[in-house]
Chains A and B, each alone.
Chain A
Amino acid sequence: MDPLLEYLNALIYLGIAALIGVAMLLLGALLGPKRPGRTKLAAYESGNEPMGYAKRFPAHFYAVGMLFILFDVEVAFLWPYAVNAGKLGLAGFAAALLFTLVLLLGLFFEWRKGVMKWDR
């Protein structure tokens, strides 16, 4: 079969999955009773009136997020190497080694910088 056709298959699968998801949500929304009330629609706050603002993240999470994106993109470069490692031989390995060491160095640097220190 045409390898590209397989991606179409995956897409069809995703489409059907999403359709079933939508159907499920609609089913619940249509069949359930509708008796909303002010307290019922209030956000959960352990039985108290909701207070304050609940949309703000501590800045620390951004750091972890960025760290992840950096590493994930870098690791993505290793995938094509992994498939062809046998053909690329030791020269390829040397390149991968260098790349990975730089990666680990980066991790070490971040670690020393205290990104993983959640408590200050």
Chain B
Amino acid sequence: MRGPTTVEPVPGRTDELIINMGPQHPATHGVLKVVIGVEGERITRAVPHIGFLHRNHEKIEEARTYPQIITYTDRMDYVSGLQNELPFILAVEDLLGVEVPPRAKLIRTIFFELFRIASHLVWLGTGMLDLGAITPFLYTFRDREMILEITEKTAGARMLPNYFTFGGVRRDVHPDFFKDVAHFLDFFETRLPDYYALVLDSPVFQARAVGVGVLSRERAIARGASGPVIRASGVAYDVRKAEPYDAYPELEFEVPTRPEGDVFARFWVRFKEMEESVKIIRQALEKTPKTGPYKGKVPPRVKPKPGARYRAVEISRGHLGTYVVSDGSERPLRVKHRSPSFANLQLIPDLFVGARFADAIAILSSLDPVFGEVDR
């Protein structure tokens, strides 16, 4: 069913104010535009407009060789950059029939979860900023900086490292890597109680979040939501469990869910996910041998056999899938990304209409969209 594409003022009706929220707006997390009609403080209509950050990823990728494409995938969800490389790599690895050494899988998993924490920290900081608390933003960015430094030491780049590759990772980890990650985890575990105290336990926050923007289980499934958004609506769907990849089958972790489906639940789920990530990384650190192969045998010219493959991973925002069609040449015939924020953004009309204008901001930040990945 197609919804309305725009919001036109109703002739003769002056009590409804039509507001363009975005693209130049401090709370739209980039370049989302939502046209909303408000009556006083109540939102009566809401239509999201996307595409301001469209960079034609999928078409460009058809004209690039396989190793070149990895650089592009980074730039989808730039907040959790490294994670985006994985589904494409997994799909191509399947087509190539490459065996990934267990150590490489563990390293990839450690980085994958580190970037989940990094991404959730950015979400937490900016989400708090949206609710008028300015201090958490600086705290979370300081913590995230440690993760970026770990990445920089090993991969050479911070946010978009282009580090994963077919058959493993591009180079071995830095000698300090294990020590740094352990140190970060210890530090981060002392920070988490502070974040709980500052955010989840704050009565002012609870007043703004509990019962706001309720997303029912059915609606979440119908709209194809994924990630923390659907888990906060009581659906324990996590690609890491549903279609395990890399080292996840051998690691123990829980999928936090909450039945309420409100803003508070979505915040809570992400908090718990950070805790779970710490657990996962600790296990993976113990299992990873200090030295060993970091990359499987991959032919110098990547030419997968003809065929198609869809692989998905659970990035910080949800189910990110990549569909690769190969015709046997160096370049894919077609690449399609299924991105979680795009699907989650479909919830905007559902969640905004009937909410208060001030709540719209809280709802949007609880969906945590990243527009690099929505518009691609």
Contacts and interface: CB of A to CB of B under 8 A. Distances in A.
Asked if the two chains touch in their complex, CB atoms less than 8 Å apart, one says: yes
B15 interface: yes
Instruction: Find the residue from B19, B20, B42, B356 having the highest chain A CB count within 10 A.
Output: B20
Interface in B77-110: none
A33 interface: no
Number of contact residues on A: which range applies?
10 to 19
B39 interface: yes
A46 B20 contact: yes
Contacts of B42: 119-120
Interface residues of B, number: 18
A42 to B, nearest CB: 12
B23 A47 contact: yes
A40 interface: no
A46 B17 contact: no
Given A58-B39, A118-B40, A119-B41, A48 B33 contact: yes
Nearest to B21: A46
Contact of B24 (A46, A52, A54): A46
A1 to B, nearest CB: 47
A53 interface: yes
A54 B33 CA distance: 19
B22 A46 contact: yes
A48 B28 CA distance: 14
Contacts, number: 43
B226 to A, nearest CB: 28
Instruction: Find the residue from B14, B22, B40, B41 having the highest chain A CB count within 10 A.
Output: B40
A56 B17 contact: yes
A57 to B, nearest CB: 9
B25 A56 contact: no
Interface string A83-120: 00000000000000000000000000000000000111
Contacts of A54: 17
B53 to A, nearest CB: 14
Contacts of B265: none
Contacts of B224: none
Closest 3 CB pairs of A and B: A47-B24, A58-B40, A48-B20
Interface of A: 45-48, 51-54, 56, 58-61, 118-120
Interface of B: 9, 14-15, 17-25, 33, 39-42, 356
20 contacts: A46-B21, A46-B22, A46-B23, A47-B20, A47-B22, A47-B25, A48-B20, A51-B9, A51-B18, A52-B9, A53-B9, A53-B14, A53-B17, A56-B17, A58-B39, A58-B41, A60-B40, A118-B40, A119-B41, A119-B356
